[in-house]
Amino acid sequence: MGFGLVLALMALMIVVGTVRLQDIGSSTRIMVNRDLVRERLATEWIGIIENSGVRADAIVKSGEPAAQAYFKQQITSFSKRASDIQKQLEDSAVDDDDRKVLDAMLAQRKIYNAVRSDVFKLKEDGDEAAASELYNAKMAPAMAAYAEKVRALVKYEQDVINRGSGAIDNNFRTGRTLLLGLGLAAILFGIAAAWLIARSITRPLHDAVGNAKAVAAGDLSQSIQVGSKDEIGELQHALKEMNQSLLNTVREVRNGADLIATASSEIAAGNLDLSSRTEEQAGSLEETASAVEQLASTVHQTADNARQASQLASSASSVAADGGAVVRQVIDTMGAIHQSSDRIVDIISVIDGIAFQTNILALNAAVEAARAGEQGRGFAVVATEVRSLAQRSAAAAKEIKTLIGDSVEKVNSGTRLVEQAGKTMQQVVASVQRVTDIVTEISSATQEQSTGIGEVNHAITQMDQVTQQNAALVEEAAAAAGSLQEQANRLAELVSVFKLDDTALRGLQQPRVASQPAAKAARTMAKPAPRASIAAPKAAPKAAKVNESEWEVF
């Protein structure tokens, strides 16, 4: 029963561990394949809104039809991608909360798209002022509200991921507690069962051996106590009957010798049966130890895989961090370009001022040459050329200033985009770091499970050794019972040397009839070994016939 309880606890440990690992695996797959994907799509949607908003602003403020067409083409591409993301989010929604947040965002998207279409229509009709006014009054607030709804969706998906991570942690802690408790209970029950079984076998056997030695020495005054009803108890009961038979008269010695022979045969068969059962238990323990070793190997392999996953996640985190550093460098470079563009604008402004002053001076010189009359005609021609050059320089400086201003605006737009990319990269780095931490915790937990299973395997190996020792003790007891049977047969042969008259012979036969119920009782007690009970009585009548003939001859 003790070993059965230990095996039941081991089976329960396996079931609990398997169920918990399946729960953790299922939760992790849901997080990776659904929750993280939804969070990534929502984050990408925010970037699409911001990029689309920048281009819509450029369309409203730009006067170039080619630039407007280019930006509209990009906005159309962004809208198509947003629709694809919307379909994926709608298909992967699992409950009413998901759909509620998504519906609120989609409603705001419809408002934003409608206002944007109105602004673009006014822009196409050439109503610049109305388009700019509608953009500032409705489109910009609608875009901000639209982006806020998408950020709320991102926040909701992040909360879902956090709840899933908490559920995984709870499953892990609960499973670990259950496995540790069941493992400790299995070890304690195994130790207690092994100690009780060994004690229940060795002590009665030691007492039985002591009783047998006392009888062999001729001490028939001892009182044999039967402490159980198992095979060892049957041995003690047989020894007690043997001792009681030896206390009878010589007329009962022969019958007592037969009973001893029969009882010793049954005891030997019972010990053989016990030995067989003990060997079966040892075989079962070996199978259990083999199964636990296989489980330990599997858990160890799982720990190695988790360790490799942790290393890969660390590498991914390092790569993401390097990407973040590169994006920061790009941001710094865009800032330097912006500063250089501002300096160029200042220099062009100075050149424009110089050209304006030169034009004024040339105009004054032309006026003075006109006053000088014929003498100042050549000077007037030179002043006219200088004035023409100054006007051309001013026009060129103005054109350069316009181009530089447009370049500065584009640099500013690129700087904002790069800053947004830097923020996105920081979020990616943080997400990869969280995944790395989770994989590291899984690797540590799997390593602890591998260590615990190794300890259980060691305990089962010790139990197997104890069971094998018990089997050896049972075999020794069987050998002792066989020796006892040989001594009983020899005792019957020795008793046959006593010669009595017919009266004594009749008196000897009467107790034999009376002793048959005792023999039947002995056979009833020896039911676990039926083969020995059948074989032993066949030898007893043969010995009786020979001995009776010897008595008659005498």
Examine the pLDDT at 535 and tell me if it is beyond 60: no
Q: State residue 80's pLDDT score.
A: 92
> What band does 374 get if pLDDT is binned at 50, 70 and 90?
confident
Instruction: Check whether residue 139 and residue 288 sit in a common domain.
Output: no
Q: What is the CATH number of the domain that holds 171?
A: 1.20.120.1730
Examine the pLDDT at 518 and tell me if it is beyond 50: no
3-state SS of 115-169 is HHHHHHHHHHHCCHHHHHHHHHHHHHHHHHHHHHHHHHHHHHHHHHHHHHHHHHH
Instruction: Check whether residue 172 and residue 253 sit in a common domain.
Output: no
What is the chain's mean pLDDT, rounded?
Answer: 75
pLDDT digits (tens, 9 = 90+) for 268-278: 777 778 778 77
> What band does 290 get if pLDDT is binned at 50, 70 and 90?
confident
Output b/e per residue, 113-148; b: 16+ Cβ within 10 A: eebbebbbebbeeeeeeebbebbeebbbebbeebbe
Owning domain of residue 107: 1-191
Residue 85 lies in a domain: yes
pLDDT digits (tens, 9 = 90+) for 161-183: 888 888 888 878 887 888 888 78
Instruction: From 448, 482, 497, give the residue that closes a domain.
Output: 497
High-pLDDT (> 70) share of the chain, %: 83
pLDDT digits (tens, 9 = 90+) for 207-232: 777 777 777 776 767 777 776 676 77
The count of structural domains within the chain is 2
Instruction: Check whether residue 40 and residue 166 sit in a common domain.
Output: yes
Instruction: Check whether residue 33 and residue 121 sit in a common domain.
Output: yes
> What band does 544 get if pLDDT is binned at 50, 70 and 90?
very low
Q: State residue 517's pLDDT score.
A: 40
Output b/e per residue, 73-111; b: 16+ Cβ within 10 A: ebbeebeebbeebbeebeeebeeeebeebbeebbebbeb
> What band does 2 get if pLDDT is binned at 50, 70 and 90?
low
pLDDT digits (tens, 9 = 90+) for 308-366: 877 887 787 787 678 778 767 877 887 787 777 777 777 878 887 887 888 787 778 77
Residue 144 lies in a domain: yes
Q: What is the CATH number of the domain that holds 469?
A: 1.10.287.950
Task: Please state, in angstroms and rounded to a whole number, the distance separating the CA atoms of residues 320 and 313.
Answer: 10
Please tell me which of 69-83, 89-103, 306-320 the model is most confident about, judged by mean pLDDT.
69-83
High-pLDDT (> 90) share of the chain, %: 1
pLDDT digits (tens, 9 = 90+) for 488-501: 777 777 755 433 34
Given CA atoms 544, 547, 551, 552 in this order, what sign does their dihedral have? positive
Instruction: Check whether residue 293 and residue 394 sit in a common domain.
Output: yes
Examine the pLDDT at 551 and tell me if it is beyond 60: no
Higher pLDDT, 98 or 149: 149
Q: State residue 208's pLDDT score.
A: 72
Instruction: From 475, 497, 519, give the residue that closes a domain.
Output: 497
Residue 313 lies in a domain: yes
Examine the pLDDT at 408 and tell me if it is beyond 50: yes
Instruction: Check whether residue 269 and residue 181 sit in a common domain.
Output: no
